[in-house]
Structure 1
Amino acid sequence: MTQLSNGARIGILAAAVVVLAGVAAGYTALAADRAEPAPAATKDGLPLTLTPGPRLLTITDRHLATVSAADPGGPRTVSTVQCLRVYAAAGTGVCLRPQTAWSYEVVVLDADLRPHQTVAVPGLPNRARVSPSGRLVAWTVFVGGDSYTSSGFSTRTGILDTRTGTTVNSLEEFSVIHEGRPYRNVDVNFWGVTFAADDNRFYATMSTAGRRYLIRGDLAARTVETLRANVECPSLSPDGTRVAFKQAVDADPQRGWRLSVLDLATMTVTETAERTSVDDQAAWLDATTLGYTLRQDDGRPDVWSVPADGSGTPRLLIPGAESPAPLAA
């Protein structure tokens, strides 16, 4: 890996500070207007629900919204609930949102968007997932102040069992097996959890020593093991056989990411037809289609879709939206 000069590191740090400052300012505005109701998106004012059905959940102008899976670009049902990241499965939702102007929380929502459980988190919301059964929720936040990071910030990834209340505050508490051997390093970071159907196994990204790896975790054993390098923000397919992920071009995130799919049995990678750099944790909208967020030059998000098998072309799915999640049973 190319070593950065001190000047380059300072430049990266300065850029990161500017980005985080801008994000924080936006989040402060969101915290200030959380109680403001969203404008009606349908003439009949139907309530938004997370009950399984042929709909997609998204965030529209910071509010939770649903659209028909058959007509995602059509009318939207918009709630008054505001989130920065969202995901849902089996009638359970996870919402990452401001707690105060400079603090954040994970909120578990029931099918009618009522808060069920809340966990305070130590940084800026980044990723969110719910297990297929709705029992487990996971989140990733950016945090600052870790002295071992050259950029000045790192991640924290946690998991909550909504049935027992058991909380993993950070995956850094787990034992790591790397290349077949126990591994420890102060620079280990995790992000982007995705759950298997058994409510025990999960996949995520681990970074250490300048490289990123796909890891498979065992929640009960509190262990993770590395499987493959250059895999970020995995998303497990509905049948549990494939992982959609963002693959750094030439293993260098500075060159952008290619949305790809990994076959877990053969470890072969298929690149999708999306050529734009995708800095997102894609969602499986169904067994063959991926949904993900791309931002326009002015920062406005749009949800796009592309076939998972490398065929076809990308399609604009939901203009002015982000954080897609399928609600189908």
Structure 2
Amino acid sequence: MIDNQGYTLEQIAALIGAEVKGDAACRVFSVNTIQDSVSGHITFLSNPKYRTYLTDTKASAVIMSAELAEDYDGNALVMSNPYLGFARVAQLLDTTPSLAQGIHPTAVIHESATVSESAHIGPNAVVAAQAVIGDNVELGAGSYVGHGSVLGEAAKIYPNVTITHGVQIGKRAIVHSGTTIGSDGFGFASDNGLWVKIPQLGGVVIGDDFECGANCTIDRGALNDTIIGNGVKLDNLCHLAHNVEIGEHSAMAAYAGVAGSSRVGDYCTAGGRATILGHIEIADRVHITAGSQVSKSLNKAGAYSSGAPLMENREWRKNMVRVRQLDEMAKKIKLLEKELKQLKGENEND
């Protein structure tokens, strides 16, 4: 949270590793887009196609590369990665209000729970038996922390989050509203067509600096734990099934899902609506594009895609007709190849 004095460009440059061009004493108080900024705002320019906005921007300062700064007469913070600089400045000037102050009188905390004196717990939040709430944790209104679960230092749990029993969440985690962590995995055995539930006896272990968006679901393990590494980021509406393992600093966009017992390596990404089927191994630094389905293990870093690109409906319909004929066409091609081979043999004999 910022104070009323804001920050000078000199102070910000020292914090984000930038060079000041212009008035180092200029103060900024908040961030905004390059189009909508006014005096007192700081913005950024990383994509050259937006450089036309430099002429009319009212921002007090712009974070940009040295190349783009050459022709700019205003105040600038010059660095090689302006977008990263903007992210760090946005953190510095963050005005997001606290989720709670102190412990609200309507919060329900079991007598066997351990709650740090510096923790903040909002209205109607519930902390179950033997749960541990670490230093400077913020637990939003209506959230639930189950039996024996642990929230690490400075974790921020937004309102109406459900964290069931046996879940461990590391330091500085951010979990947005509607998310459930530790729900039962989808485990059933068939008894002549009737489904017999398999109790999900594992937990969920999440590393430091984790963040997930709203309405995500992370299932507990069937026997062993579901494991999520340090620095993992999930967008809204992602699903991780039981016994999934996600490596450090991997990220998944909205609607991405990983089926049971699959393992995703470090520094991987999955685009929106990407699907990873069960019992699959994904190597480090694999990037799966939006809408793709991964049906086999990937043991080499790189970018992978599946599915047909967008096309006009009439063209798509024609192509789908061809797809239905693929098996028949393959048989005809095989027959033609056999006949061609016979003809070549007859010619060679002549």
Judge same fold: TM > 0.5, yes or no. Answer: no
More helix by share: 2
Tell me the TM-score normalised to structure 1 length: 0.32
* Greater length-normalized contact order (CA 8 Å, ≥ 6 residues apart): 1
Tell me the TM-score normalised to structure 2 length: 0.30
